[in-house]
Chain A
Amino acid sequence: MCATCGCGPTDHHHSHDHGLSQGIEQNTGKKIVTVEQDILQENNLLAQRNRGFFEGRNILSLNLVSSPGSGKTTLLERTLTDLKGQLEFAVIEGDQQTANDADRIHATGTKVTQINTGKGCHLDAHMVLHAVQGMKLKPDSVLFIENVGNLVCPAMFDLGEAERVVVISVTEGDDKPLKYPDMFHSSTICIINKIDLLPYVNFKVDKAKEYARRINPNLEIIELSCTSGAGLETWYDWLKSKVLLPV
C-alpha cells in the first residue's frame, strides 16, 4: 500500500508485472500456480530503482537507523552545520507523527523533506521514491535518510541506500547488537554515540564492538559524542571518503 500517495496496492505500479505465473489445471478442476516469489520483491525492485537514480547522479545516500533517542537527528544537525560549504546535503526525515525532526534539520539551512509514516514503523523504498521525486536533488551531493526510530522493521526494507548507518548510544545496553542482529548484519557502519556519558553508565565499548563484529565482521565502528564533539572528525573523514567528488 502506498502511504505517501494514498493509493491501494493495485491502483498504481512503478515496476512491470513480470513474474506472473500461469496456473496448471489439475484433474480435480483446480489450478495450481507455482509462484516462487520473494515477498519483498516489490520493495527490492523499487529500492534498486532508487539506487540507480542515486548512482547515476553521484548522490551518496545514507539510511540512518536506531532506537528512538540514540542521536540520529543530533548527529545530522552537527554534521550539516560543521560541513556546511564543504559538501552539498539534503535530508529525508521519516517520522511517525510529528515534524519536530524536520524542523530541527530545517533550522540548519538544509533542504529537508518529511515522510509521515503514521502507524507504519519503517520507511520503504516506495515512500523514498516519491519523496525524492519532489526534491530536485543536486548531483554530487549527500542524501541522509533518517528512518523511523526502531531497530526491527527498518532492517528488512532496503531503501536503495549506499550505506546503512546504525546508531547506538552508551545509555543503551552494550548487548544491543545481540538483541537486534538483523540490523547489525545489514548495516555497513555503526556509530556509538554519547561517549561523553561513559563515566556515568555501565556500557563497555569493547564488548559492544565485539558483539557487533560477531554478527558483522566487516562493520566499521566509530565512537563519538555529538555533545562534546569527540570522534566527529573520524565520522566526517569517513563521510568524505565515501563521496566520490568529480575531479
Chain B
Amino acid sequence: MHELSIVMGIVDLATKQALANGANMIEEIELEIGCLSGIEMDSFEFAWKQGIRNSMLEHAVRHLHRPAGKALCVDCDTEFPIQQLFDSCPNCNGHLLSIISGKELKVKSLVLP
C-alpha cells in the first residue's frame, strides 16, 4: 500500500517545516491530492490514522483539496475535464494529452501554534 509511504512522506515533510519554525506540534495542515494522483482515498484515510500516530500531526486538523482532472489535447489544443488517463479528446478523439491538473500531491501549508 503506497498510501502509507505517502502519509509518511507528508509527516516527514511537515515535521521538518515545523521544526524549522521552532514548533513541536502542528495545528492544521492543508493538502492537495489530485483526482489523477493515483491515491486511493479509502486506503489513504486508513494510512493517515496509522501514520500520524505519535507524530506532530497527531492532533492536526486536515484540510484536503482534490483538484479534478483536466487535460489539454496535444493535437487540437482543446482543454477538457478527464476522469481517467485513457479518456480521449471530445473534439478530435485524440489520445495524446498533456495533463494540466489532477496529478497534484502536495503539502500546501501548515498552521503552527
| CB neighbors of A among B1-28 (8 A) | 1-2, 5-6, 8-18, 20-21, 23, 27
Q: Cβ of A182 < 8 Å from any Cβ of B?
A: yes
Q: A9-B15, A152-B38, A178-B86 are in contact. List 20 more A-B contacts (CB 8 A).
A: A10-B15, A23-B112, A31-B23, A31-B113, A33-B110, A33-B112, A34-B108, A35-B13, A36-B108, A39-B106, A39-B107, A40-B9, A41-B13, A42-B12, A120-B5, A121-B1, A122-B2, A156-B38, A214-B95, A215-B85
Q: Knowing A9-B8, A33-B110, A34-B109, say if A211 contacts B86 (CB, 8 Å).
A: yes
B77 to chain A: closest CB distance in Å? Answer: 16
Question: Count of chain B residues with Cβ under 8 Å from any Cβ of A?
Answer: 35
- Provide a sorted-by-A list of 8 A–B residue pairs whose CB atoms are within 8 angstroms: A1-B8, A23-B21, A29-B113, A33-B18, A33-B112, A36-B106, A38-B106, A217-B96
Which A residues lie within 8 Å of B9 (CB)? 39-40, 42-43
Judged by a CB distance under 8 angstroms, whether A153 is at the interface is: yes
> For the complex, is A21 an interface residue (Cβ under 8 Å from B)?
yes
Q: How distant is B41 from chain A, measured CB to nearest CB, in Å?
A: 14
Q: Is the C-beta of A124 less than 8 angstroms from some C-beta in chain B? A: yes
Q: Is there an interface contact between B5 and A122, defined as CB atoms closer than 8 Å? A: yes
User: Is B105 an interface residue when CB atoms closer than 8 A count as contact?
Assistant: yes
Max chain A C-beta neighbours (<10 A), residue from B17, B84, B112: B17
Contact B111 A181 (CB under 8 A): no
The verdict on B88 contacting chain A, using a C-beta distance below 8 Å, is yes
Q: Is A201 an interface residue (CB 8 A)?
A: no
In angstroms, Cα B84 to Cα A157, docked, is 20
Q: Is the CB of A40 within 8 A of B105?
A: yes
Q: Is A230 an interface residue (CB 8 A)?
A: no
CB pair B107–A10 under 8 Å, yes or no, is no
List, in ascending order, chain B residues with CB within 8 A of A121's CB: 1-2
Interface centre among B2, B14, B23, B108, by most chain A C-beta atoms within 10 angstroms, is B2
Q: A10-B12, A182-B38, A211-B86 are in contact. Are A31 and B112 (CB under 8 A)?
A: yes
Q: Is the CB of B85 within 8 A of A35?
A: no
Compute how far the CA of A22 lies from the CA of B112 in the bound complex, rounded to whole angstroms. Answer: 11
Q: Which 4 A-B pairs have the closest CB atoms?
A: A153-B2, A181-B85, A9-B12, A20-B20
Contact yes or no, A152 B2, CB < 8 A: yes
Known: A23-B21, A181-B86. A30 touches B1 (CB 8 A): no
Closest Cβ–Cβ distance, residue A74 to chain B (whole Å):
26
Residues of A within 8 A of B13 (CB): 35, 37, 39, 41-42
